Chains A and B, each alone.
Chain A
Amino acid sequence: MRFILIDKVVSLEPGERIKAVKNVSLSEEYLADHFPTFPVLPGVLLLEGLIESASWLVRKTENFAHSMILLEQARNVKYKSFLAPGAQIEYTVEAKMIEENVSSFAGVGVSRDERIVEARFGLRHFNLADEDSAMAAVDAGIIENLKTRWKLVGSE
Chain B
Amino acid sequence: MPRRNMRWIWIDKFTEFDSGKRAVALKNVTLAEEHLHDHFPGFPVMPECLMIEAMAQTAGILVGEAAKFQEKVILAKIKKAVFFDYVKPGDTLLLEANIESFAPEAASTSGKITRTDRLIAEIDLMFSHIDQNLAGKEFPAENFVFGSGTSVFESLLRDVLPETIERSEPV
Mark A residues whose CB is within 8 Å of B. Answer: 1-4, 29-30, 32-38, 42-45, 47-48, 51, 67-68, 70-79, 81-82, 119, 128, 138, 141-142, 145-146
Find the A residue at minimum CB distance from B54. Answer: A44
A36 touches B49 (CB 8 A): no
Task: Assess the A44–B53 pair: CB atoms within 8 A.
Answer: yes
B42 touches A145 (CB 8 A): yes
- A138-B42 contact given A1-B6, A35-B144, A74-B78, CB 8 Å threshold: yes
- The answer to whether B42 and A38 have CB atoms under 8 Å apart is no
Please report whether the interface of chain A is mostly helix, strand, loop or mixed according to DSSP.
Answer: mixed
Interface of B (DSSP majority class): loop
Given known contacts A71-B83, A74-B80, A79-B76, A36 and B149 CB-to-CB distance under 8 angstroms: yes
Q: Which residues of A contact B3 (CB under 8 A)?
A: 32
B40 adjacent to A35 (CB under 8 Å): no
Q: Taking CB as reference atom, which chain A residue is nearest B5?
A: A29
CB of A37 within 8 A of CB of B6, answer no
A124 nearest CB across to chain B (Å): 9
Q: List 12 A-B contacts (CB under 8 A).
A: A34-B8, A35-B149, A36-B148, A37-B140, A44-B53, A51-B48, A72-B82, A73-B83, A76-B77, A78-B76, A79-B75, A138-B43
Taking the complex as formed, is B1 at the interface, i.e. its CB lies under 8 A from any CB of chain A? yes
Chain A nearest CB, measured from B11 CB (Å):
13
Contact of B142 among A1, A37, A74, A142 (CB under 8 A): A37
A71-B48, A146-B40 given; 5 more Cβ-contact pairs under 8 Å: A1-B6, A77-B77, A81-B137, A141-B41, A142-B43
Known contacts: A29-B4, A30-B6, A67-B43. The answer to whether A2 contacts B147 by CB under 8 A is no
Q: In the complex, what residue of chain A is closest to B82 when comparing beta carbons?
A: A73
Q: What band does the interface of chain B fall in when counting residues whose beta carbon is under 8 Å from A?
A: 35 or more
Known A3-B47, A71-B49: A32·B1 in contact at CB below 8 Å: yes
Q: Contact string, B41-65, partner A, CB cutoff 8 A, digits 1/0?
A: 1110101111011001000000000
B148 and A37 contacting across the interface, CB-CB below 8 Å: yes
With both beta carbons as reference points, the residue of chain B lying nearest to A34 in the complex is identified as: B8
* Minimum CB distance partner of A80 in chain B: B134
Minimal Cβ-Cβ distance residue in A for B80:
A75
* Cα–Cα, bound, A81→B140 (Å): 14
Chain B proximity of A143: nearest CB distance (Å): 9
What chain B residues lie within 8 Å of A2 (beta carbons)?
34-35, 38
Q: Are B42 and A42 in contact (CB under 8 A)?
A: no
A45 CA / B78 CA spacing, docked (Å): 13
The residue on A at minimum CB distance from B152 is A33
Nearest A residue to B48 by beta-carbon distance? A71
Contact between chains at A81 and B134 (CB < 8 Å): yes
Q: Which residue of A lies closest to B138 (CB)?
A: A82
Residues on B with C-beta less than 8 A from A78 are 76-77
